[in-house]
């Protein structure tokens, strides 16, 4: 889909994202000082966002996988308890969700009342989105809402705080006689050492190095590794100018090959994302790059064999800690015939109480960091403070609206590199050209 947002306006939008990221630590401090306010949220506040409405139903087009569980066991029951209304949740795979949502909006379809969208897709849906008023944003890191507010009004509301980060097994690290990594060199060294010294059946690394599961290697393992080495897909100053042709990008690709060499046998050939989750839960992996939702049950004895053994942290980047943002948002389409009830769903699902319930019920990663600071959550989730640090380090890698068009060809180049068909230098040049050509086609550069 051709974007209707001009380059100058888009640069202003993405510059706002960068500015918000830079002040993220300040925002965390300010919110932290006031977190008791959130924990003492009153019934009156909830009533303000859940005014009585005749019981009805809405249809939500959204993701399958753990996203569905979060909704069916956490967010939807909370909405139903406050309104009596029902939700028809339509789960789709990652690529299918984007394609179906785009087609529905182009056709001005009224079939869906809420769209659940990944952050790099948002600008493609701005022209179809209703502004959503009455959303309580206390406890949100400012950078999570700056992107949509920069365009005017709140038309997309973050709900699932997904971040891509590093994990390791503390028990196995102790067996190696090692300390937590403090640099990317440490991570590569530990990966090789674990492969040599750990028992058979335990692989040194796991993550998404595939051609096309979710966002594939380009949006997962490579994106966050690239940032750790100090590189980027797009210039942080405007968010759209390709800057991949760099030595940092070459170094990140070489690191990816080490992860594959010493990683899980399926690390580049997963057939579905749940297999990555299970490589952690089963105890097969010493370390790796994962999203929150992939390890949400790591301390649940009914799902995991590594209860209490996994630690999480941002990648120790050359310019400071980094994690890659993968925030999911709600959008209410202009074509919905139940817009008010749809907006009510968004207000309730994204509320502090709604996110707290979903986290306690399903370990949903919240977009309000104050959920992690809840006394109840801290008592039940030993990784709560670690996740706050991951949120603080979050940086968007997929900032240009060209991302949905380029992720597949970028993955194809990465796959050829991992299969030794390309040098790292040639792969980076080809990937950079893909970004430049599509950016020119869209009139962004």
- Distance between CA atoms of residues 70 and 359, nearest Å: 8
* Backbone φ, ψ for residue 345 (5° rounding): -60, -45
Q: How many CA atoms does the CB half-sphere of 50 hold within 13 Å?
A: 22
- Distance between CA atoms of residues 378 and 171, nearest Å: 22
Q: What is the pLDDT along the chain (445 residues), one digit of tens a residue?
A: 444 445 444 444 444 443 333 334 333 433 344 444 444 443 444 444 444 445 599 999 999 989 999 999 999 999 999 999 999 999 999 889 999 999 999 999 999 999 999 988 998 899 999 999 999 899 998 777 776 676 667 999 999 999 999 999 999 999 999 999 999 999 999 999 999 999 999 999 999 999 988 889 999 999 999 999 999 999 998 889 999 999 999 999 999 999 999 999 999 999 999 999 999 999 999 999 999 989 999 999 999 999 999 999 999 999 999 999 999 999 999 999 999 999 999 999 999 999 999 999 999 999 999 999 999 999 999 999 999 999 999 999 998 989 999 999 999 999 999 999 999 999 999 999 999 999 999 999 9
Cβ neighbours of residue 259 closer than 8 Å, sequence gap 6 or more: 191, 205, 207, 209, 221, 267, 288, 289
Could you tell me if 293 and 160 are in contact, meaning their C-beta atoms sit under 8 angstroms apart?
yes
Tokens matching residue 146: 């700056």
Could you tell me if 339 and 330 are in contact, meaning their C-beta atoms sit under 8 angstroms apart?
no
Taking residue 61's Cβ as centre, other Cβ atoms within 10 Å add up to 23
How many angstroms separate the most distant Cα atoms in the chain? 63
DSSP H/E element including 194? helix 184-197
- Distance between CA atoms of residues 165 and 225, nearest Å: 9
CA angle 440, 443, 444 (to 5 degrees): 85
CA angle 420, 422, 425 (to 5 degrees): 125
Quick check: helix, strand or coil at residue 25? helix
Nearest to 236 by CA among 11, 8, 3, 441: 11
Instruction: Supply the Cα-derived Rg of the chain in whole angstroms.
Output: 21
Could you tell me if 341 and 85 are in contact, meaning their C-beta atoms sit under 8 angstroms apart?
yes
Burial of 6 (0-12, 13-18, 19+ CB in 10 A): exposed
Nearest to 290 by CA among 306, 304, 316, 311: 311
- Distance between CA atoms of residues 89 and 76, nearest Å: 9
What distance lies between CA 295 and its chain's CA centroid? 13
Could you tell me if 330 and 348 are in contact, meaning their C-beta atoms sit under 8 angstroms apart?
no
User: In this structure, are strands 157-160 and 310-313 parallel, antiparallel, or unpaired?
Assistant: unpaired
- Distance between CA atoms of residues 96 and 82, nearest Å: 31
CA angle 383, 384, 388 (to 5 degrees): 115
């Amino acid at each position: 889909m051709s974007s209707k947002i001009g380059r100058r306006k888009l640069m202003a939008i993405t510059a706002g994202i960068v500015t918000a990221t830079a002040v993220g630590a300040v925002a965390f401090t300010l919110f932290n000082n006031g977190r008791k306010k959130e924990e003492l949220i009153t019934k009156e506040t909830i009533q303000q966002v859940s005014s009585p409405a005749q019981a009805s139903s809405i249809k939500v087009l959204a993701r399958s996988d753990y996203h569905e569980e979060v909704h069916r066991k956490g967010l939807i029951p909370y909405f139903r308890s406050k309104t009596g209304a029902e939700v028809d949740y339509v789960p789709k795979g990652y690529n299918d969700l984007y394609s179906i949502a785009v087609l529905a909006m182009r056709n001005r379809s009224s079939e869906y009342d809420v769209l659940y969208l990944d952050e790099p897709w948002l600008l493609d849906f701005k022209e179809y989105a209703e502004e959503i008023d009455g959303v309580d944003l206390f406890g949100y890191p400012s950078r999570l809402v700056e992107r949509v507010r920069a365009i005017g009004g709140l038309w997309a509301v973050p709900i699932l705080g997904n971040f891509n980060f590093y994990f390791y097994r503390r028990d196995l690290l102790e067996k190696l006689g090692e300390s937590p990594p403090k640099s990317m060199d440490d991570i590569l060294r530990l990966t090789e050492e674990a492969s040599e010294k750990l028992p058979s059946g335990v692989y040194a690394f796991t993550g998404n190095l595939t051609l096309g599961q979710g966002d594939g290697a380009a949006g997962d393992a490579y994106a966050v590794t690239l940032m750790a080495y100090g590189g980027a897909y797009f210039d942080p100053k405007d968010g759209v100018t390709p800057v991949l042709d760099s030595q940092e990008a070459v170094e990140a690709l070489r690191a990816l090959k080490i992860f594959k060499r010493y990683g899980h046998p399926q690390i580049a050939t997963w057939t579905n994302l749940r297999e990555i989750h299970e490589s952690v839960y089963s105890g097969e992996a010493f370390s790796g790059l994962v999203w929150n939702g992939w390890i949400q049950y790591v301390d649940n004895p009914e799902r995991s064999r590594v209860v209490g053994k996994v630690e999480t942290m941002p990648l120790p980047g050359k310019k400071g800690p980094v994690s890659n943002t993968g925030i999911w948002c709600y959008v209410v389409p202009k074509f919905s015939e139940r817009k008010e009830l749809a907006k009510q769903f968004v207000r309730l699902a994204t509320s502090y109480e709604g996110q707290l319930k979903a986290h306690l019920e399903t370990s949903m990663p919240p977009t309000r960091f104050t959920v992690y600071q809840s006394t109840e959550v801290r008592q039940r989730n030993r990784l709560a403070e670690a996740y706050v640090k991951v949120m603080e380090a979050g940086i968007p890698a997929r900032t240009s609206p060209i991302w949905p068009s380029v992720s597949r060809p970028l993955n194809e180049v990465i796959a050829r590199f991992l299969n030794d068909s390309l040098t790292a230098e040639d792969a980076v040049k080809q990937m950079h050209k893909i970004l430049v050509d599509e950016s020119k086609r869209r009139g962004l550069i």
